[in-house]
């Protein structure tokens, strides 16, 4: 699939799922801009890099102004943060930070790119939610609040812009085999989680990238406003 004239922005594209998505979109023939929080971060070959701190308002404003001057055809809001905690003990500043990165920033970036997408009568937006934006569990109040909110925002956005050829969807990864997952859960934790996944394995980052690749392509002509779980069936049992 060649989309040589299309420009994509992938936030959080320096590792894990974001890196795989950016890499795949380059392979698909798109011009790709990735973001990260470090000034000199690794990023996929063939991409350009923009340093932005989504917890810093000035940094976000600068990036928003940058995007307004670009012709962005595809936006993938992948960057996110998480902090697990007991509901009654969650620090309100931590709660605010999670919502700022996971919900407010995607909102602002969508606002930045929509005018040009409308002008061209074509655009694709994918917001990375989570299984915990579809189901939840203990100690996930902050994260689930942000991801359920992101899905709701995506649905409302789709209702407004689909008639202009702009298709906006959410993609919700389940337990994915990344360095972060392995460092947090360890071998024993991963073994326990696999028992609850119908496919009995973790997902792969290339599987997330393949879904996003299709959602942002010309082949997707009628799917919009959806929150698609890619979790090996975990959220359905």
Asked if residue 199 is part of any domain, the answer here is yes
Domains identified in the chain, total number = 1
Which structure tokens are listed for 92?
């309100």
Asked if residue 40 is part of any domain, the answer here is yes
Active-site position among 6, 49, 50, 143: 143
Which domain covers residue 120, as residue numbers?
Answer: 7-236
Asked if residue 174 is part of any domain, the answer here is yes
Question: pTM here?
Answer: 0.96
Sheet holding 227-230, edge to edge: 47-51, 31-36, 7-10, 74-77, 123-128, 166-173, 227-230
Smallest Cα–Cα separation from 21: which of 236, 214, 208, 235? Answer: 208
Which residue is associated with the tokens 């701190």? 53
Asked if residue 1 is part of any domain, the answer here is no
Asked if residue 103 is part of any domain, the answer here is yes
Determine the angle formed by the axes of helices 16-27 and 205-215, rounding to 10 degrees. Answer: 50
Residue 190 CA: distances (Å) to CA of 178, 180, 213, 229? 11, 12, 27, 19
Catalytic, 49? Answer no
Asked if residue 224 is part of any domain, the answer here is yes
CATH number, position 113: 3.40.50.720
Which residue is associated with the tokens 């990375």? 128
Contact 169, 227 (CB under 8 A): yes
Could you report how far apart the first and last alpha carbons of the chain are, in Å? 35
**DSSP annotation of 218:** T
Q: How many CB atoms lie within 10 A of CB 147?
A: 28
Smallest Cα–Cα separation from 215: which of 156, 158, 159? Answer: 158
Strand-pair partners of 77: 127
Phi/psi region, residue 86 (left: phi>0; alpha: psi -120 to 50; beta: rest), is: beta
Asked if residue 109 is part of any domain, the answer here is yes
Distance, in Å, from the CA atom of 98 to the CA atom of 103, rounded to the nearest integer, reads 8
Which structure tokens are listed for 116?
């040009």
Asked if residue 2 is part of any domain, the answer here is no
- Per-residue pLDDT tens listing for the chain (237 residues): 444 579 999 999 999 999 999 999 999 999 999 999 999 899 999 999 999 999 999 999 999 999 999 999 999 999 999 999 999 999 999 999 999 999 999 999 999 999 999 999 999 999 999 999 999 999 999 999 999 999 999 999 999 999 999 999 999 999 999 988 888 889 999 999 999 999 999 999 999 999 999 999 999 999 999 999 999 999 999
């Amino acid at each position: 699939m060649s989309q040589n004239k299309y420009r994509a922005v992938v936030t959080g594209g320096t590792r894990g799922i974001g890196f795989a998505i950016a890499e795949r979109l380059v392979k698909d023939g798109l011009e790709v801009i990735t973001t990260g929080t470090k000034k000199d971060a690794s990023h996929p070959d063939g991409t350009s890099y923009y340093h932005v701190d989504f917890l810093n308002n000035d940094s976000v404003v600068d990036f928003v102004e940058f995007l307004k001057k670009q012709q962005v055809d595809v936006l993938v809001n992948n960057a996110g943060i998480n902090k697990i905690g007991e509901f009654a003990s969650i620090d309100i500043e931590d709660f605010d930070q999670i919502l700022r990165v996971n919900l407010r920033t995607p909102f602002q970036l969508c606002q930045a790119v929509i005018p040009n997408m409308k002008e061209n009568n074509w655009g694709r937006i994918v917001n990375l939610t989570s299984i915990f934006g579809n189901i939840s569990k203990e100690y996930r109040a902050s994260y689930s609040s942000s991801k359920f909110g992101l899905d709701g925002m995506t649905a409302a956005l789709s209702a407004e812009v689909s008639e202009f050829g702009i298709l906006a969807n959410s993609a919700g990864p389940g337990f994915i085999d990344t360095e972060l997952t392995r460092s947090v859960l360890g071998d024993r934790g991963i073994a326990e989680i696999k028992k609850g996944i119908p496919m009995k394995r973790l997902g792969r980052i290339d599987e997330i990238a393949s879904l996003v690749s299709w959602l942002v392509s010309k082949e997707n002509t009628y799917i919009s406003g959806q929150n698609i779980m890619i979790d090996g069936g975990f959220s359905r049992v």
